[in-house]
Every structure is written in structure tokens, then in C-alpha cells.
Structure 1
Amino acid sequence: MTSLPAPSPWTAALPEANPPEGMALYQLPTGTYDTRAALAVRGGSFRDKRHFAANAVLVTHPGGDFLIDAGFGEQVDEHVKMLPLFTRAPYTKTTTVYEQLVRAGYDFTRLRGVILTHSHWDHSSGLDSLDVPIWINKGEREYAAKDGDGKVFRTVSVGHKIHEYVFGGPAYLGFAKSFDVYGDGSLVIALAGGHTTGSVVVFVTLPSASPVASGKRYAFIGDLTWQYDGIKRRAERPWLLRTLADSDAGQVREGIVLAAALVDVMRVVPAHDVGAYDGIPVLPRVMPS
């Protein structure tokens, strides 16, 4: 198997970030679904079954909190039925994002919105029980409005306020366009495209005083690759899957190479790799005040 070109590791200074004290990051697992590695990444084995994560991530910040993706929702069974038969896979649902936040005594007035890495069903299903704005860029909003893979999004987004952000910032770690959510460099959205028209990478930088993963940086890359070995080996999806799943395979390849250049300077997290979330704490039973 031929890997994509090896990038030069990132050696330049990282973009300036001034994350405030009290900022934190949590993972909210909502379930998994199963597929064979041969269908997940080029060169994978049919004997290797992968559990695909359906996670959301909560970013808490004094300027208001955000979720990155929404995981499986309360009506996920109905959402799966909306998918073409050949794309359905065995899945296990656990606890929705909404239920986890309620259990933790979370103050929903703090939640400013859900930032979708893209609009596919396994990232948007949980919007069915979250009454918060959806943060999405114009390209992804247009994709979700007309593409067949946007059917679940179109269902769960009804009644939600849509906040359409604009990429007004400069290139960010090789990605051509960016948007700094808080203006302090701690949460930056960069346009990746390729998997869907407006799919993004969400970069998070934690403060040095953080009790967990002090000063660590994360790149939540959505579905540039489904598994981390796609980044490690610079391996795209198999031909059939990238034909079905990606809107621009060439743009995905560029994104994989850019993400691979960052693995020595931050944690790169493909959305569906269970192990990639190791070290990110789960939401506590009682949220810190």
C-alpha cells in the first residue's frame, strides 16, 4: 500500500493562544458502531473489527461553552433508518449528550452552541434533544441542505437557531482559512473541506494551569480519517468508501498530510477513533463550579 507523501514535521512556532484559567475539556461518549478495518482505512484487514466512536466534546470557557459535535441522539434508532441500507452498521447507544449534561447538573445557560465538524448523521443526531444554536459555516450549511447524507441533519436541526460563522482569519497550521471563536486562540475552527464541502478541524488549546492535560493542544479533525492509523500511516479511505463518503478526495488527502505534520506538537483526534480520546476526561457527575 502506498502512503500519502510524508510531511515535514511542524517545527515553526505554534499560533499564539491565551486560554483563560478555568477552561477545560471533556469527552461525552454516546455510543459506538462497528465496521471492518478494511472499510475504514486503506490497507486495513477484514479480520480487524473497529468500534467507531460517536462522541461529543465539551469545551468549557469563561466566555461560554461549546460542544464539538453532538453524538447519538435520543432518536438515533429512527435516524439510522433514514440511512441507505448498505451504509447501516451494528451500533450500540449509551447515554446522550443531553442526559450526561443533566446528570452532571450542568447549567445549560452556559452552552453557546454546538460546533459541527460536519453535518453527517453520526455527528448531528444528538441535536434532537439539545435546544442550542448550531454553529456551521456557509459551505457546510449548503451541503447539508441538498446532499443525501444531510437527511438526518435536516430533521434534527428543525427549530434550532443557526449561527453561520465566517472564516475571516488567516491560514492556521497549514489550513487555508480560520475562525477564532473566542478571540484568544483557545478555540479555532479551520476549514478542511473534502469529506463534506464545509467540514472543519477544531483546534483547542488548554491553559497551562489546567489540572488535566496542562497546556495541551488538540486537533479534532472530524472525518479527515475515521481512525488514527489513517493519520499515522497517511492512509486515506479505501477507493469505494472515499467514492461514497467524500465530496473531494484530493482535498481530503491534503488535509490528512497537514494533520500528520502536527502529531508531534498536539493530540490529533479523528472523530471515530475510540482510543484517540484517551486522556480526555469524561464529564464528572458534578460539574466544577
Structure 2
Amino acid sequence: MLKTTFAALAFCLASLTASAADEPPAAPASVRFAIVKTASLQTHEWLLFSGGRFEPAETAFSAFLIQHGNDRFLFDSGLGSQVDAQYAADMPGWNRPFFRYDQPVRPAKDQLAEAGIGPITRIVVSHSHWDHLSGLSDFPQAEVWLAAAEHALVNQPSQAVGGVWPSQVAGITGWKDIVFDRGPFEGFDASHDLYGDGRVVLVPMPGHTPGSVGLFVTTDSGRRFFFVGDVVWNAGALKTGAPKHWAARLFVDHDVAQTQAAIELIRAAMARDPKLVVVPAHDAKVQAALGLFPAWVQ
């Protein structure tokens, strides 16, 4: 009787093991992104980086929709539906000739709704300047992820050039600090792997603001992209490692030396992987070449 029982148990265990072995491995999560351009500004290249040409250049104000499997989040929020009121309330008058946007504004909220994309429950911000936080109020249900050093700025809003606008953060309660709990990644000191598979990874990039962050994304095609916020405004700066125009960097870069160090880390990552596509938050030419929402980059 005991022999029969042991034999039956052995058979069951063998069957379970064989079934598990026969199951195909789980398919890797689908990863893609879309560039949601909310507004633009016609300017000139020489105003965007030192050594730039005296040629027209378009600046974009964009949010980036990242999809990993069934999960979606925004990296930055672009200009939101309340930007005109925010601008009127908090942009200092003497700054307005230099920091502005052209009409029309097409908020990310409206574009996503038109495409039938459901509620956004997480927004990761590259940094806390006005043109990156404007759309937060359009997604009141979303957690807002940012570096701890950037959260300190949010807690002390001001109308200073490098400050956080009170009109954009009032009533926002879903703040969540990014914990850089992984080791170095692509030359950066620390990292946070959002899904644990190395395909959507945040890195700290202090300089432009104390808590600026960048985002590496590897899509299904194997292409790799690096969203660098405002470390540079235009990809042309990366050819020589040029900083922003001297007047701009004195006003908008919290720490000029740290910002330059971040530029060199980006250039080093590009040298290691010549196929890496660097996407500055405001480079309309780079973004248009990849395709704008509702198109997806895969």
C-alpha cells in the first residue's frame, strides 16, 4: 500500500514538473513611447546653446507617454489646460519676453482623451520648472514622482526663474520621492529600474535643477532612447558638449558646473552606444523625426 502511495506521489510530482517545463516562458513586456507635443515656440539656435547657428529653431513643450506592458505613465506633463492662467499669475513680467510659448496649446490630457487612452495614474517629472509641471493639474488622480532634492523645491514655491510656481503645485497631493535604489547605470552614480527588467530606468542628473532626472527606455525593437529633460535644450549642443547660451545658463541652470558634468555623462553614453538616441525635452526637430502622438515609437 505504501509503495503504491509513494509511486502515485512520485508520478504527480513528475507530472507537475513536466507541465511547468513545457510551459513557454513569459513573453517580455511590450515597451514603447509616444511624444505628446503640447505647444511650441519659434526661436533661433544660437539662443539655445553656445556656438549655435543664426538659424531658426523650434522649441517644443512636450510630455512623453511611456508604455510598459499594460502600464502607462507620463514623463513630464507639457503645458496644461491652465497654463495661460498659471503664466499670468506667476511668470515675472521681465521674464516674459524670454520665456514664453506660442498658441495654440494642446494639453496632453485632451490629446490622450481624443485617442481613448484611459486615466494616467503616474507622472514622473524630469524637473520642476513651469513648462514641465504645467499639466499636473489636468491629472488630479496621478502620483507625481520626482527626486527628493526636487521635492524640496516644491515645498518652497516661488516666482524666481528657477523656482516652482505656486499656481502649479497648489492642491497637488500625490507627491512621491524617487528612490534610487540600484547601483550605477550608464555612467550615472545610481538608478531606479521602474519595472525590474532594465528597460525603463531613471537616473539622477543634478545641475539644471538640484533634482533633475533622466530616463532610459529600450523599446521592443531594441532601440535605446535617453530622455534628458533640460540638461540640454537642443541635441546640437551634444556634438561639442556646448552649454546653454551664456545668459540663459546663468538664469536657468541651478549649478552650471554640475550641468556641464551631466552633459559629459550623456556624451560618454553616446560614445559607448552610437545608436543611443538622446531626446531633449524641447528639441522639436529630434521629436518630429521620431514621430508625434498618436504615433508610437516601438
| TM band (smaller chain) | 0.7 to 0.9
SS in 2 for 1:122: helix
Q: Summarize the Cα distance change of 1:19–1:41 in structure 2 as closer, same or farther, 3 Å threshold.
A: farther
Distance in 1 separating the partners of 2:291 and 2:27: 18
Does the aligned pair in 2 maintain the 1:66–1:115 contact within 8 Å? yes
Does the aligned pair in 1 maintain the 2:31–2:218 contact within 8 Å? no
Q: Summarize the Cα distance change of 1:20–1:102 in structure 2 as closer, same or farther, 3 Å threshold.
A: same
Q: Summarize the Cα distance change of 1:69–1:50 in structure 2 as closer, same or farther, 3 Å threshold.
A: same
- The correspondence for 1:198, drawn from 211, 227, 233, is 211
Q: Summarize the Cα distance change of 1:259–1:238 in structure 2 as closer, same or farther, 3 Å threshold.
A: same
Larger displacement relative to structure 2 (114-123 or 89-98): 89-98
Letter in 2 for 1:138: A
1:220 aligns with 2:231: no
Gaps of 5+ in 2: 1-25
- The correspondence for 2:111, drawn from 94, 97, 100, is 100
1:65-214 to structure 2, matched below 5 A, reads 65-81=72-88, 82-84=90-92, 85-86=94-95, 87-108=98-119, 111-131=120-140, 132-146=142-156, 148=160, 149-152=162-165, 155-156=168-169, 158-207=171-220, 214=221
Distance in 2 separating the partners of 1:65 and 1:42: 36
SS in 1 for 2:251: helix
Q: Which residue of 2 aligns with 1:260?
A: 267
SS in 1 for 2:155: helix
Distance in 1 separating the partners of 2:264 and 2:27: 27
Per-residue displacement from partner, 1:117-170 (whole Å, max 9, x unpaired)? 101111111112112111111111112333533333662452341111211111
Does the aligned pair in 1 maintain the 2:37–2:62 contact within 8 Å? yes
Per-residue displacement from partner, 1:242-270 (whole Å, max 9, x unpaired)? 11111111111111111122331310011
Q: Which residue of 2 aligns with 1:9?
A: none
- The correspondence for 1:22, drawn from 21, 27, 30, is 30
Question: RMSD of the TM alignment (CA)?
Answer: 2.2
Q: Which residue of 1 aligns with 2:251?
A: 244
Distance in 1 separating the partners of 2:226 and 2:238: 12
User: Number of matched residues?
Assistant: 260
Q: Summarize the Cα distance change of 1:19–1:255 in structure 2 as closer, same or farther, 3 Å threshold.
A: farther
Superposition TM-score, scaled by structure 1 size: 0.83
Superposition TM-score, scaled by structure 2 size: 0.80
Distance in 1 separating the partners of 2:173 and 2:110: 19
1:283 aligns with 2:293: yes
Distance in 1 separating the partners of 2:293 and 2:278: 20
Which protein has the bigger helix share?
2
Offset of 1:215 from its aligned partner?
1.1
Q: Equivalent pairs: percent with the same residue?
A: 31
SS in 2 for 1:261: helix
Q: Summarize the Cα distance change of 1:164–1:22 in structure 2 as closer, same or farther, 3 Å threshold.
A: same
SS in 2 for 1:78: helix
Which consecutive segments of 4 or more residues in structure 1 shift more than 4 A? Answer: none
Bigger relative CO (Cα 8 Å, ≥ 6 apart): 1
Per-residue displacement from partner, 1:12-47 (whole Å, max 9, x unpaired)? xxxxxx9934322111110112333232101224x4
Offset of 1:94 from its aligned partner?
3.3
- The correspondence for 2:52, drawn from 44, 53, 63, is 44
Q: Summarize the Cα distance change of 1:164–1:171 in structure 2 as closer, same or farther, 3 Å threshold.
A: same
Per-residue displacement from partner, 1:199-241 (whole Å, max 9, x unpaired)? 011111112xxxxxx1111000001110011112210012221
